[in-house]
Structure 1
Amino acid sequence: MRYSEEVIEEVRMKNDIVDVISGYVKLQKKGSNYFGLCPFHNEKSPSFSVSPAKQMYYCFGCGAGGNVLTFIMEYENYSFSEALKVLADRSGVKLPVAEYSKEAREQEDLRSTLLEVNKLAASYFYYQLKNPQGEAGYRYLRDRQLSDETITRFGLGYSNKTSDDLYRYLKGKGYDDGLLKQSGLVTIEERGTYDKFWNRVMFPIMDVNNRVIGFGGRVMGAGEPKYLNSPETKLFDKSRNLYGLNYARLSREKYILICEGYMDVIAMHQAGFTNAVASLGTAFTTQHAQLLKRYTDKVVLTYDSDGAGVKAALRAIPILKEAGISIRVLNMQPYKDPDEFIKNLGAEEFRKRIEEARNSFLFEIDVLKKNYKMDDPEQKTEFYNQVARKLLEFPEALERENYLEAVSREYYINYEDLKRLVNRLGASLGPSVSAQREEEGSLKSQRKKEKEDGVKQSQRLLLTWLIENPLLFDKIEGVITPDDFIEELYHKVARMVFDGHAAGTLNPAEILNHFIHDEGQYRAVAGLFHASLKESLDNEEQKKAFSETIMKVKKNSLDNASRHAAGILELQNIIKEQAALKDLHISLD
């Protein structure tokens, strides 16, 4: 549900940011602020600051910043609602309860009961593994070199050979047949009732909040199928969940490793790669990519090195690209999978392979090349044509040029010849546009972007200075208003900053609440509330820079207004203001 601004602000105010962050980061007071090592990137010198006055945090190293709510969201990878509930519980604030219809309440109660059943089943499987009847399963896991600590961490278990063992246990706990059938743990038919899993090593599947939503089972012996997953239930949708994500989301790495199966994930976590996940017996989906996008914008594919693994990587790459995720592909040779690789060459060598992982486009070209005999002129020519077609997949000229250079260098193809081939194919496949015109358009686009960036920069700097030093409002009175911040996001912030200053209640942490539902916006706004040393106004050079920034903001505002003037009278007034700018003098003394 969506909570009111009043409720959000009450929760924020009752959770002092220094107290909360101290539970995660060792902080040391320096002056009026606290400093520590940033939990969002690896560093040796503290650049992470927490301001009790502003109730904000900011890292001068990686740019992470926000208030107490965004810290919990970012550190724990929680949604806004999840973070709000955690902090509300911590401070004793009672959140309003959503009104549910009878049907919605019944569905919610069903989900809660199914979670209880799954939790009981996971505990039961774990208990069986550690007892004589689970010896075969335990021996299998130990033979795979898993430690007891790892077995416990992932809650691994064993389902007995008796085909209705779990069913009888859960019935004894008072759950009826209808509910147990919906859990996916039990099959109930006219010919009898039996467990979905028996004589298998069990892998509980957890959602990002560590709740058991399903199971995977690996058969002991020669039974089929070798791996079996829970069917789709009210809790479990294998196309929308990833094994190991409950732990991987807490990793401090800036990327996530994607592999094929449970054992690969577990082996990688045991070796220290706690950012590994795997899909659940299904091909990688758009929903998987969207789920990952919540936690990272970079992945490394560590699929098996066999033909099936290569095909899986080729299927996943375009899906991940579409989600805006950068992809690299790890070379596992001479071994088949991460588990086998790490056992033979060790974790350090695996980490080196991660650092050397192949760019996904070049990986695709590598695979493509294997289909052609390069000593055959006809096949070699066809390979070049296919490469040129692949290069045309990049819509941006600059990106295409970068890859064209890389392909030319990597595959010893003459750069000019390849470029002509790409341009010729591009002309035949679409509207004819000369390369020169495209380059000219690209240059104009770049210049326009640089100008727009300059406009944004001046507005950002002015807002930062005003927030940092409220006395500056007196210097700009009658010159700058919120309407002069023409960038939409900065205009919203400026309106709140000016109103807050006028009312004597300027509160950066409260302002940030308004942008907390949009990750991109809240990061940008958080950055406004932290002036770096180079932006302070303690010398003549910086005072001059401040005056020039005011002039830029005002000039850009008037130029924008002139382009959108409603009539000749309004345009004449704007022209007068533009002329008056020449005589404007802002003094900070």
Structure 2
Amino acid sequence: LMSPAGARALEYIHGRALTDKTIRKFGLGYAPDSWNALTNHLKAKGFTENEMLAAAVAAKGRNNGFYDMFRNRIIFPIIDLRGNVIAFGGRVMDDSKPKYLNSGDTPVFKKSKNLFAMNIAKSVKSDSIILCEGYMDVIALHQAGFENTVATLGTALAAEQSHLISQYCSQVILSYDSDAAGQQAAKKAINLFAQTGVKVKVLTVKGAKDPDEFIKKYGRERFKMLIDGCENAIEYEISKIKDKYNMETADGKVSFLKEFCALMSQINSPIEREIYISRYALELEIDKAAVAAQVQSLFKKRVKAQQAKQERSLNIFVNSTPDKQKDFERSKNLQCALAEDKLITALIKNPDYYKYILSKISSRDFITTRNREIFEILCQRLENSLSIELFELSSVLDDNAMSAIAFLVASSNGISYSRADVDEYISILLQNKSKKSESEIAQMSDDELMSFIGSLSRK
């Protein structure tokens, strides 16, 4: 980027009002307008074509042609929580399509489990995270001082990403485009975060097409005012419904109330439903009892239909067997993997063990990736007073994880788990933790090292 070949790209970035300090902070780069600049460079370094394909930095075309994936694009490195570059995003500098090109999934990168700039946002002392759609919005907000900003990676928010965000904040502020696609993305995000216990607010950017443009026009302080005054998720959805109808007419009120009652029926908290029903019954000068009765009727129908659907899905999970994709992790230490299985089963059957288990062990003590992720989600839901019944978990876990859990629970039918049993499973995992090699310890992050030392002191 700083070479003569990158002069045009650097001019473009400076034209977007990004400073050299910001460029260095995010490691921005430039992919030359060449079909083989990177592949030739990597070949000279000793990398094979298969390795480049696996890393998603090269591709094969017709007639087995081999070429650079990123050409004549601004490059945005995707960095994981440990500070490792694991993928790339590339943006054109003109109106050609596609505007953005992103790395596909690789052995070290899964789009659904990573977020742009989360490596920075995770360390910011804030109880909220701002979630944007694009790289440039994130970078502009960081430069303006909002370093608690992240973005998805060219796709809609995934359940795993909402779970990751919820580990670092108690509130998410959605800053999506105001077009139809942005509104649809916001709606999906609201539903996903509802499963994590994280509060959601929705930022509406008026007078500009996105946060980047808004800050350029009006400055940091005006954007801060937008954040402070943004609506919560329910208020946002009600506003969208109101915008559709003429509230001065009887027909408009009836149409609004039909959608309003349907929305209220999606809220599990009776207190929260009561607040909104009271407010809008008063505003529309209609009988509150009539609105409440309609909402309660829809709520009961929704719960009944949802449980029936989830129980049908659960039967499929129970009758299936977990995939063997990650058997290599289990085979490395089968005793620990089985202890994890039983600890998870014990927690599902005895949620009141939650605090006790967490006082002795953390998810970092798990050796298998899937069990670690399952344990984290169970603990997160319990921390937020959410159910860990199997039919509830099916909405936040993928099919493979659900198959694993359903298989464990079905296999333990009639078995009870005492605290003594739990202590035994924990002991097995902590003993394994203390056996880590010097090389494994040397590769740990600061947080992992502190957790490792703490687990030894608890023994």
**Bin for the TM-score computed over the shorter chain:** 0.5 to 0.7
Task: Tell whether 2:360 aligns with 1:514.
Answer: yes
The amino acid of 1:372's aligned partner reads Y
- Tell me if the contact between 2:264 and 2:295 (Cα under 8 Å) persists in the aligned partners: no
1:357 to partner: Cα distance: 1.0
Aligned to 2:296: 426
Aligned to 2:205: 332
1:192 to partner: Cα distance: 2.0
Q: Secondary structure at the match of 2:75?
A: strand
Q: Secondary structure at the match of 1:239?
A: helix
1:210 to partner: Cα distance: 1.3
Selected match of 2:287 from 410, 417, 423: 417
1:488 to partner: Cα distance: 6.1
1:393 to partner: Cα distance: 2.0
- Tell me if the contact between 1:305 and 1:335 (Cα under 8 Å) persists in the aligned partners: no
Aligned to 2:40: 168
The amino acid of 1:366's aligned partner reads S
- Tell me if the contact between 1:362 and 1:407 (Cα under 8 Å) persists in the aligned partners: no
- Tell me if the contact between 1:258 and 1:302 (Cα under 8 Å) persists in the aligned partners: yes
1:165 and 1:152 map into 2 onto residues whose CA distance is: 22
- Tell me if the contact between 1:332 and 1:338 (Cα under 8 Å) persists in the aligned partners: yes
Selected match of 1:179 from 51, 61, 65: 51
The amino acid of 2:192's aligned partner reads I
Selected match of 1:240 from 113, 116, 131: 113
Selected match of 2:268 from 390, 395, 407: 395
Q: Secondary structure at the match of 1:381?
A: helix
The amino acid of 1:324's aligned partner reads G
- Tell me if the contact between 2:262 and 2:298 (Cα under 8 Å) persists in the aligned partners: no
1:408 and 1:351 map into 2 onto residues whose CA distance is: 33
Alignment of 1:129-528 (within 5 A): 129-189=1-61, 190-408=63-281, 412-414=283-285, 417-427=287-297, 430=300, 514-517=360-363
What is the number of residues matched between the two proteins? Answer: 319
**Structure 2 CA distance for partners of 1:380 and 1:348, relative to 1, 3 Å:** same
The amino acid of 2:292's aligned partner reads V
1:353 to partner: Cα distance: 1.1
**Structure 2 CA distance for partners of 1:395 and 1:187, relative to 1, 3 Å:** closer
The amino acid of 1:153's aligned partner reads K
2:298 and 2:25 map into 1 onto residues whose CA distance is: 58
The two structures have a TM-score, normalised by structure 2, of 0.65
Q: Secondary structure at the match of 1:388?
A: helix
Q: Secondary structure at the match of 1:342?
A: helix
- Tell me if the contact between 2:354 and 2:379 (Cα under 8 Å) persists in the aligned partners: no
1:413 to partner: Cα distance: 2.1
- Tell me if the contact between 1:392 and 1:422 (Cα under 8 Å) persists in the aligned partners: no
1:147 and 1:279 map into 2 onto residues whose CA distance is: 23
Aligned to 1:39: none
Alignment of 1:65-76 (within 5 A): none
- Tell me if the contact between 1:385 and 1:421 (Cα under 8 Å) persists in the aligned partners: no
- Tell me if the contact between 1:202 and 1:218 (Cα under 8 Å) persists in the aligned partners: yes
1:516 to partner: Cα distance: 4.5
The amino acid of 1:165's aligned partner reads A
1:164 and 1:399 map into 2 onto residues whose CA distance is: 58
Rg (Cα) greater in structure: 1
The two structures have a TM-score, normalised by structure 1, of 0.51
- Tell me if the contact between 1:299 and 1:326 (Cα under 8 Å) persists in the aligned partners: yes
The amino acid of 1:334's aligned partner reads G
RMSD over aligned CA atoms reads: 2.6
**Structure 2 CA distance for partners of 1:399 and 1:168, relative to 1, 3 Å:** same
1:279 and 1:194 map into 2 onto residues whose CA distance is: 27
Task: Mark the runs of 5 or more structure 2 residues left unpaired by the alignment.
Answer: 302-350, 364-374, 383-459
